[in-house]
């Protein structure tokens, strides 16, 4: 359902929520934001729980830094905690570390909500059509998105070749030494691939600043306006309640 919404109003709404999450230093607001985004993904979009939890790992690690600093080293808690505590919409009775922790998770979950319900190609096309993102930049972004799975495939082949050379079975996940050894070959692969893609795009007529049309322009629909309005309305209501 959320996947059918136009990516740009959805992006704007998510950015507004993230902005509010950054500005409002209140545990209740962060929890509501986190719960709402989680509920939409798990309940409405049927995203697997393990996937959501896995996606939150980097945000949790980031937030955990604030939490441990606040709890274990309260006296030495850093400038960030101090500033956060002095924000206009702060609720100072709650540990600032806990608020920062939930804020990291809330922002992460809203980001996941956007990423998991948006077609990346559609987003880039919408940016090119409605926000005048230059076509070469747009297609470079698409190439970057192609590059990720290609790099993963190349890395697997390089790892297999390395395992053969070293005469030992390939581990499921690469260790630090292996990552270091693979960095330069992968970088070289990425440069080679990007060069070929740029050449092919030029040969197929992509020019900077030249007029071009779009096969399909995703129109703004009433449901996009309604969804945007509803999102802003819920945000206003939550802010009023907290």
Partner 1 sequence: MSDVLACDGVAVRYPFAAADAVGPLTLRLARGDRVLLLGPSGCGKSTLLQALTGLIPAALPGARRGQLHLFGQPVESRSPADWAAQVAFLFQDADQTLAGFTLADELAFALENRALPPDDIAARVAQAMAQAGLHPDWMGRRIATLSGGQKQMVALTAVLAQGADLVVADEPTASLAPGAAKMMADLLLAPGKTVLIVDHRLGPVLDRIDRVVVLGRDGQTLAEGPPDKVFASHGADLAAQGIWTPLATRLRLALAAQGVSVPAVVQVADLVAHLPPHADLAPLLLPAACQSGTETLRLNRVDCAPPFGPVVLRNISLGLRAGEVLGILGPNGAGKSTLAACLAGLIPPRAGQRTGPPGAMAFQNADSHFAAETTRAECLAMGVPAADCAALLAGWGLDHVATQHPFSLSAGQKRRLALALLTATDRWPVLVLDEPTAGLDHAGTTRIAGHIRRLAGMGKTLAVITHDADFALSVCDRVIVLAEGRVQADGPARTVLRDTALLQRCGLAPPEAAPLLHWMDRTPC
Name the site residues for partner 1 (rule: CB under 8 A): 120-121, 124-125, 135, 139, 142-143, 145-146, 148-150, 152, 154, 156-158, 160-165, 167, 169-170, 172, 185, 193, 196-207, 210-217
CA distances from 205 to 194, 201, 217 (A): 17, 6, 20
Identify which of residues 121 and 229 has a Cβ nearer to partner 1 in the complex.
121
Convert 195-212 to b/e letters by CB count within 10 Å (16 or more is b).
eebeeebeeeeeeeeeee
Cα 102 to Cα 28: distance, rounded to the nearest angstrom = 9
Question: Minimum CB separation from partner 1 for residue 8, in Å?
Answer: 17
Q: Alpha carbon of 233 to those of 19, 36, 242: distances in Å?
A: 15, 13, 14
Nearest-approach distance from CB 120 to partner 1, in angstroms: 7
Q: How far is the CB of 163 from partner 1 (least distance, A)?
A: 7
* Distance of closest approach, residue 178 Cβ to partner 1, in angstroms: 12
How near is the Cβ of 126 to partner 1 at its closest, in Å?
12
| Side-chain-side CA neighbours of residue 120 (13 Å) | 12
Q: Are 118 and 7 in contact (CB under 8 A)?
A: yes
Inter-CA distances, 53 with 60, 67, 157, 210, Å: 10, 19, 29, 45
Instruction: Name which of 88 and 203 has its Cβ closer to partner 1.
Output: 203
**Closer CB to partner 1, 75 or 203, in the complex:** 203
Q: Are 49 and 109 in contact (CB under 8 A)?
A: no
Task: For partner 1, give the closer residue by CB, 120 or 225.
Answer: 120
CB closer to partner 1, 86 vs 150: 150
């Amino acid at each position: 359902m959320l996947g059918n919404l136009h990516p740009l109003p959805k992006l704007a709404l998510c950015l507004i929520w993230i902005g509010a999450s950054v500005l409002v230093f209140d545990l209740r607001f962060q929890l509501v934001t986190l719960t709402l985004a989680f509920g939409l993904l798990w309940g409405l979009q049927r995203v697997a729980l393990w996937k959501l939890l896995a996606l939150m790992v980097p945000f949790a690690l980031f937030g955990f830094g604030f939490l441990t600093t606040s709890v274990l080293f309260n006296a030495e808690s850093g400038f960030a905690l101090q500033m956060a505590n002095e924000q206009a919409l702060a609720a100072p009775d709650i540990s600032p570390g806990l608020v920062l922790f939930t804020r990291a998770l809330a922002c992460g979950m809203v980001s996941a909500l956007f990423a998991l319900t948006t077609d990346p190609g559609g987003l880039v096309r919408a940016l090119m059509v409605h926000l005048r993102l230059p076509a070469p930049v747009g297609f470079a972004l698409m190439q970057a998105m192609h590059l990720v799975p290609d790099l993963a495939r190349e890395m697997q082949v390089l790892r297999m070749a390395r395992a053969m050379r070293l005469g030992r079975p390939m581990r499921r996940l690469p260790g630090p030494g292996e990552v270091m050894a693979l960095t330069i070959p992968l970088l070289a692969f990425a440069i080679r691939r990007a060069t070929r893609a740029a050449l092919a795009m030029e040969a197929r007529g992509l020019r900077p600043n030249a007029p071009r049309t779009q096969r399909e322009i995703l129109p703004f629909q009433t449901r996009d306006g309604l969804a945007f309005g509803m999102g802003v309305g819920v945000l206003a209501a939550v802010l009023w309640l907290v």
